[in-house]
Structure 1
Amino acid sequence: MRLPTSALLLVLAGACAHAPASTETPTAAAKAPVAELPFMEPPAAPMPGWQLVKRGDVLMREGRHAEALAEYTRALDAGNTNDGTAYSAACALALLGKKQEALDQLSRAAEWGFRDVRWMQQDEDLASLRTEPAFTALVARIPTLPEKDPTAHAELKRMFAEDQADRSPPPASPEAWKAVTARDEQRRARVKELVAAGELKEGADFLAAAFIFQHGHAQEDFAMARELGAEAARRGHPGGLWIAAAAWDRWLMNAERPQRFGTQYRGDLQTKQMKLYPVDPSVTDEERARWGFPPLAEIPTTLR
């Protein structure tokens, strides 16, 4: 059952009743006491082959490209139609020197909605393809393809793109982060207005709104991101399940409680590494699987 707009507005009303989040630093989180975040069942089933994709991603990080390719191929054969899976398969193929097969998978990724030409041109995994005429042709063709989620809310789509661009790459100074934080606040304020007006219609709309709230600093922001992500999943968007779980984990981390799924990392001042934030030992691997996450033992403890 889809979450009615009125239910989203109840969450939003709670957010509006609190003072704005601090803009002192990008990592500052509101620590004021808040109501317990209610338990949530998975709002949708993970995409077919998701476990294979997760294993492939781990193998890619370890440089085991042939093994990763085998996992991605099995996922695609199982019915996984995520453009990211086809793109990852292309990367593995390119690193293995299988240029034509890599180009075929890149074309498939484009057919399924991949549109990030800028990243494709700078991705070192695809470096061996850049001199290929077919690669150049694909770079030229992608901008002419139908827009991904063509009927999604245009303003939300634009704000989501701006939200992601503000973090690609991350700002290099505290001053730059303050500017991003100010823009984040403006985006959240506008999304609140759109939710209140009932403007969100499609899964892509709810997903974009969820990411914008995920980049807030108050517990109410993360609670709202979870609700929006869950609604995106209910409306069929494959990314909704992940953002709902990540928002739940972020809410728990900022409440100084163990996370459930293993999506959140914190910087270690001594090692300068991003380390996995503690995970609740009472949450089973079976529960993580219901949300589309691998067993805890397969989740990296540090990010490079």
Structure 2
Amino acid sequence: MKTHQKERKSVSTKIFDSLYVIIGTVLLVVGLSLFFFNSKVGRAYMLRDNGERVSQDLTAKQADRNRKVKTTYDASKTTDVDTRQLWDARKTPAGAIGRMSIPQADIHNPLFQGYGAQLQNLSYGVCTVVPNRVMGGTNNFVVAGHYMGNYGPAVLDNLHLTQAGDKIYFTDMHRIYEYVETSMRYDITPKQVEVENNIPGKKMVTIITCSDFNVNRYGYGQHRTVAVGELVGSMPATKKNLENTELTNKVSPKISQKHVRYKVIKAQPKSAKIYRSLSLKQIIFWPLMIIGVIVLICLLKIWL
């Protein structure tokens, strides 16, 4: 009788211990997830993953079709990127109209037309800011994107590390347009919209992001980093040309290392190396796998 009670007590204890392990694990996973996805590096991963998902197999036909989708250019309705915004954006499709890159500064992004009908496009990459402007045209082709905190880099985190003479590439998936950077400013205020104006006869590009890389000097969200370039040529958007100009969804590390400046690599945090080599799925999968193995070992010890 006592032996039977001990066995029942033993089973009850094992069940209690198992529940303790499982509930503790769930709370740990939830806590780590909330911490990661609400951190700057987590948001950088999410934004990059958003862009890669919607532009993975972008073709010229798809880009042409996406240019016909309704969008908005009302910048006053846009907000700073946050975790909820990034998750909500995943529910609203975004169609890329091309890509852009600045190889010497390790910048690569899908390109979207306007801010999107639901203002979702900034949660995927770089957006055109002014309607009826075309890349490669006799106009000021203006684009903008978020500064995510130098965690990767993501979007335009490295724009402040570019310099005069850097090559800037844009493609509509038909042709690749090559610009050369001519100037850079970090102290432009949001009200100085004249930087978006056309200059008669000029074939220009203007790239805009926040100057939050130095909040002590420029404040948080109070100034803009603005890079300007001039068109120097174009070429067909062949597979080889897209790879050499780093305008593909996955950039070859071999090609990237050949182009990027040492100064840019040195300026990036150690997390940048992890960011380049791991996808968001891998970042989620491997910790869960390790935690799962530990939980399994704990449960086996309880029951065996």
TM over 0.5: no
TM-score by length of 2: 0.28
Structure 1 or 2, whichever has the larger Rg, is: 2
TM-score by length of 1: 0.28
Structure whose residues are more often strand by fraction: 2
Higher helix fraction (1 or 2): 1
